[in-house]
Structure 1
Amino acid sequence: MHGPTLHPHPKGTLVSTTMRHPMVPAVPPRFVEDIYTPEEIDILFGIVRRGGPWRLIAAQHFSSAEEYMAVSGPKNRDLDRKLELSDLLTPTFRGYFGNYGIPLEGAAHELCYNRKLLDMIKDMHGAKYAAPNSYLFNVRAPAHSYDAGHFDSPSWRGMNKFNTPIWLSSVMAKSGLFEQWELRSGQVIALFYDSDVDGGFTYWPEGPDRPPARFAAPFRNSGLVTHNEKMFHRGEASGPRHKRSIPGLQLDSTIAGAGDDQWVIRNADEEIARYHDSEMRFLFHYGAYVFEDLADAKRYFEHTDDLTLDTALRMLSDDLRRRGVQFDESSHPMHDSEFVKILTRTYDMAPGSYPADAPLDLIGAV
């Protein structure tokens, strides 16, 4: 059995996460194997290889280093050094099989409503109903991992990843102010990385101030059933170590399949890197919302108790004042980098320890 590797926690050194904010999953992740049939794997990889080009994850979700840091936490770096978003880029690209609860690729239609995956997520929560949410994939070339640990973008009734920036969703979750609107969720994550050179999955099942655990590579159509919107986790560095830095990687770089077993990263028409399948790490990420009963589902779908952006920003501002945090009122708080910095610092929460076999890469040290 491919089980997690646990790491001892020094007694008396940390305060329980749940005393300040419950960023703890409903249950710890469960390792699963043979997630997809061979026919399903052919469908999924066919879409990934023949589609594209695919954009960087960072390009799809962030416009500044401050927004990235609000999601991924501190980087054990020189705090006097101002980071740019380009400093944080790794060659990790993303596309979607489905989104908004609907298939975006015709060939993946049945998979978007996969009963096996939905039942796994329902069973994790003991819920009666489940509704597909997003179905995405990551294509990752050899890469360092500057991610100090993050959690997936959470959702609330009325506010979710489709209408709320990820940085704001992360701040809201860490604030602990919005639990009454929380949408419970779950994910089935399938990994394909046929190597034991790094490439594992680190997670903090008892909160970021408790010791981590990890699932080590290789992964062959295996992965986990997990509650990643309430659990800090990170994909570890992967691929041949001497190929993990890509000179010229920029925010608008893309990747696409080439032939039967090659992947090419380009800046516009210029090829800047090329890799073989064996050097790549692939992730298929299926997500669904769960509902305790029909009344719970109706409250979501009929929008009878939605959280709004104005309410969320007012509650955050009120909480800053209660904490004695000084800030200037902004007419455009969503685009005020100083306000983003203040929120990020006020609700700062990130892992403080890492497995010895999967250390955090330091920016500027590799």
Structure 2
Amino acid sequence: MTTRQRHPITPVMHPTLVHDFYEPDEVEALFGIVRRHAPWKLVLAHHFKSTEEYLAVSGGAGVDPAEVSLSDFIAPVFRDYLAEEGVVFYPEVHDLYFSKKLLDPVKEMHGAKYGLALHMLFNTGVPSHSFDAGHFDSANWRGCSIVNTPIWLLSVMAKSGLFDHWAVKTGQMITYFYNSDIDGGFTYWPDGPDLPPRRFKAPFDNTCILSDNSKMYHRRESNGPAHQRDHPDIRLESLLHSEDPDHWVVRNGDREIARYRDRDMRTLFHYTALVFDELSDVRTYLDRTDDLTHEKVFEVLVHDLRRRGVKFTEPTDPMTDPEFIALLNKTYEMAPREYPAAAPPAVRGAA
């Protein structure tokens, strides 16, 4: 009897829940930032410039980019960063961002000795469908991360399995607030996307998920009353505004297209840390003596395409060439095979 080969996108452990994670004053500080510093951009507007880039990240295997546009995948979920790469953007969360409360569980998950705070961000969304077929968070490699590399390329790198030598371990503490049992859960594939998924069901009230999301497919489930989930006027440039202590407004420029009560929102606060097994790993990361460059990344990918016998014309600008990005998507294509019966991905245009 042989042991099943581990899928390349499989977490170090199944995610676990921590209830009542943040203290009341921490919750007040986090939500205060989201309320006072609006408006906020869509998640999609932060990270993608083309359909091909989005499809490299999403689990939509088999989707023809020529038959869809980036706007087909817009969901009214808004984002921004609270801290990034050791820099805190809002002093209210300084101590929290650098706390053992966030870092130590990630270290323990990996059995690592050392770690550092990487990113802290929030997502907040109005009632909506979820067209996300499943994705995994951006991984980190020495020399390549979300601060200098497009998310689509980080996704292709992870799926290819060609860059493990440069990989840096990460982990997440993701705390959800969604006081409703109308869908809105979290689907995840802890044994790889080729095996059945699991779910954490809503409601969530200060509910933290400790997870290895850069090695685990997962997705936001549709949330809110079904009759409020369609958003025909949403655009990439749409912004979420804070109207008063109890209302949120989505606008295209000066035009209001939707309005919601605070209780309608589904919000998460997302923390990521880098962790290292040994001090020598920390030194290699910090001294930059064994970093990837984008040139090296594409050299490795092009070599692998040729090894596989894939016919293509090497692009002059592989970072932005849509045909080359689509080719990489197809070559390293993977996606979840099944979904919970109670929480399938929404299909755009379905009745």
- Could you tell me the TM-score, scaled by structure 1's length? 0.93
**Structure 1 gap segments, 5+ residues each:** 1-14
Contact 1:75 1:363 in 2 (8 A): no
Deviation, 1:321, is: 0.6
**Aligned counterpart in structure 1 of residue 249 of structure 2, from 235, 248, 264:** 264
Q: Which amino acid aligns with 1:321?
A: R
Q: Measured at CA, do residues 86 and 232 of structure 1 come closer, stay the same or move farther in structure 2, by a change above 3 Å?
A: same
- Determine whether 1:291 maps to 2:291: no
Once the 2 structures are TM-superposed, how far is the Cα of residue 127 of structure 1 from its aligned partner? Answer: 0.7
The farther-off stretch of 106-115 and 129-138 is 106-115
Q: In structure 2, what is the Cα distance between the partners aligned to 1:89 and 1:196?
A: 24
Matched, 1:28 2:14: yes
Measure, in 2, the Cα distance between the counterparts of 1:297 and 1:140.
37
The one-letter code of the counterpart of 1:354 is Y
In structure 2, distance between residues paired with 1:338 and 1:363:
24
Q: 1:278 aligns with which of 247, 263, 279?
A: 263
What code does the residue aligned with 2:81 have?
Y
Shift of 1:81: 6.4
| Correspondence for 1:4 | none
Alpha-carbon distance between aligned partners in 2 of 1:71 and 1:260, rounded to the nearest angstrom: 35
1 CA distance for matches of 2:100 and 2:157?
31
Alignment partner for residue 253 of structure 1, among 238, 254, 269?
238
Q: Is the 8 A contact 2:127 2:229 kept in 1?
A: yes
The CA deviation at 1:17 is 6.6
Q: Does 1:115 align with 2:100?
A: yes
Identical aligned residues as a percent: 51
Give the alignment's TM-score, normalised by structure 2.
Answer: 0.97
**Following superposition, which runs of at least 4 residues in structure 1 exceed 4 angstroms of deviation?**
none
Residue pairs, 1:96-107, within 5 angstroms: 96-107=81-92
Cα distance in 2 for partners of 1:296, 1:129 equals: 9
Tell whether the 8 Å contact from 2:61 to 2:333 is kept in structure 1 after alignment: no
Correspondence for 2:27:
41
Give the Cα–Cα distance (whole angstroms) in 1 for the partners of residues 23 and 126 of structure 2.
Answer: 25
Question: C-alpha distance in 2, partners of 1:241/1:279?
Answer: 12
SS in 2 for 1:184: strand
Matched, 1:327 2:306: no
Counterpart residue number, 1:7: none
Q: Is the 8 A contact 1:54 1:94 kept in 2?
A: yes
1:363 aligns with 2:330: no
The CA distance in 1 between the partners of 2:99 and 2:294, in whole Å, is 33
What residue number does 1:303 align with?
A: 288
Give me the CA root mean square deviation.
1.4
Show CA shifts across 1:67-98 (max 9, x none): 10110021676x59611001110101101110
- Say whether the 8 Å CA contact 2:248–2:259 is kept in structure 1: yes
Structure 2: gaps (5+ residues): none
CA distance in 2, matches of 1:91, 1:355: 23
